[in-house]
């Protein structure tokens, strides 16, 4: 009896807690749909599986941007972030898996669970635009009907807001170039981890200025030469190393890029992003390793992805490095970010 009990416990855990198995759990529960509770559980498992699988995908691009998994409850009350249980509780009245329910499940998950400690440091139009960009991305990849519902019944109601529309255009551009999650949300997340829950007008201003700077970077023409100016302010201190000049790489190797990164560090940068396209991506790891070694930095992420251009797509690498000194400072000043359950 003890063995069968343990087997049942493990099976329940796999089918209800791990995204890979939650879809299978939904089909098992559907087979018992003659019980209303089983039908509800089948729908909730499918929604949870979809949300938690996209959380894992986003985490590979920018770790911790959506820090908590989703949990669906069937109750007519507002959704909320429960930091004590480390879960985003999605509350739904109807137990049908229709476009409206799926759309609002994603809306609640993003608005409650994405960059939760950074929202006080974002102007309202930017915050709404960030949420909309992520919601559109999640629904586009998983449920076109729910995306159509969201665009028609939610986002279209804000089309008269010119400032919001400007922010949406900039973030769409960043998303096409792979900079939305890998750089902008990453830096916005870091601001929240440093500053929360203190009020700080510098942080509010700098998250807006960084968006404008990244928009200029995202709109660079393919093959355009020159460096991208670093952004060194009070709360955000970031630089970009663009590995794109074939001739310089052939004649001088990676040293000029390493030297440029080291100069940015001496000028106060705490984070450096290496961006490399096409055949030149092999140099990105060499530059990253040298900067980490000689600049007292750590490689936080090494992402390879396809970047969208007017003429097609290009293989791209984005490497994030952070100063070890800045990480120690953040760890020592950010103990106050452990907060109780928020409803």
Q: How far apart are CA 37 and CA 213, in angstroms?
A: 51
Please state, as a whole number, how many other Cβ atoms lie within 10 Å of the Cβ of residue 199. 9
Q: How far apart are CA 272 and CA 142, in angstroms?
A: 33
Distance between start and end Cα atoms, the chain: 41
What are the pLDDT digits (tens) for 233-252? Answer: 999 999 999 987 666 677 77
What are the pLDDT digits (tens) for 149-204? Answer: 999 999 999 989 999 999 999 999 999 999 999 999 999 999 999 999 999 999 99
- The DSSP bridge partners found for residue 238 are 231, 271
- The phi-psi region of residue 198 (left if phi > 0; otherwise alpha if psi is between -120 and 50; otherwise beta) is beta
Q: How far apart are CA 104 and CA 99, in angstroms?
A: 9
The answer to whether 113 touches 80, Cβ cutoff 8 Å, is no
- The DSSP bridge partners found for residue 317 are 276, 304
CATH 3.30.110.20 in the chain, residue ranges:
227-336
Interior CA angle at 126 toward 123 and 128, to 5°? 105
pTM for the model: 0.85
What are the pLDDT digits (tens) for 87-141? Answer: 999 998 876 778 999 999 999 999 999 999 999 999 999 999 999 999 999 999 8
Q: Is 1 exposed, middle or buried (0-12, 13-18, 19+ CB in 10 A)?
A: exposed
CATH architecture, domain 227-336: 2-Layer Sandwich (3.30)
The answer to whether 219 touches 188, Cβ cutoff 8 Å, is no
């Amino acid at each position: 009896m003890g063995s069968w009990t343990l087997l049942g416990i493990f099976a329940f855990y796999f089918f209800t807690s791990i995204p890979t198995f939650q879809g299978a759990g939904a089909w098992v529960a559907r087979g018992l749909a003659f019980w209303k509770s089983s039908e509800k559980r089948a729908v909730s498992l499918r929604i949870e599986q979809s949300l938690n699988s996209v959380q894992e995908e986003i985490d590979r691009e920018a770790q911790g941007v959506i820090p908590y998994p989703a949990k669906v409850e069937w109750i007519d009350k507002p959704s909320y972030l429960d930091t004590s249980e480390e879960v985003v509780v999605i509350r739904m009245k109807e137990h049908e898996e229709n476009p409206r329910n799926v759309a609002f499940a994603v809306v609640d998950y993003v608005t409650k669970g994405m960059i939760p400690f950074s929202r006080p440091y974002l102007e309202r139009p930017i915050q709404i635009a960030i949420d909309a960009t992520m919601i559109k991305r999640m629904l586009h990849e998983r449920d076109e009907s729910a995306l159509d519902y969201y665009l028609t019944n939610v986002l279209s109601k804000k089309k008269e807001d010119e400032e919001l529309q400007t922010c949406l255009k900039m973030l769409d551009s960043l998303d096409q170039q792979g900079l939305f999650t890998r750089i902008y949300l990453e830096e916005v997340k870091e601001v929240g981890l440093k500053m929360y829950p203190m009020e700080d007008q510098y942080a509010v201003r700098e998250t807006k200025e960084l968006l404008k700077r990244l928009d200029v970077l995202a709109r660079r023409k393919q093959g355009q030469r020159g460096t991208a100016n670093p952004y060194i302010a009070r709360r955000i201190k970031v630089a970009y190393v663009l590995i794109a000049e074939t001739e310089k790489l052939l004649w001088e190797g990676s040293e000029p890029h390493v030297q440029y990164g080291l100069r940015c560090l001496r000028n106060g940068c705490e984070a450096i992003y290496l961006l490399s396209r096409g055949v030149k991506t092999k140099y990105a790891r060499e530059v990253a390793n040298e900067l980490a070694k000689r600049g007292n930095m750590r490689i936080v992420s090494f992402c390879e992805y396809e970047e969208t251009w007017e003429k097609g797509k290009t293989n791209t690498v984005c490497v994030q490095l952070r100063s070890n000194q800045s990480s120690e400072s953040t760890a020592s000043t950010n103990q106050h970010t452990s907060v109780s359950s928020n409803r």
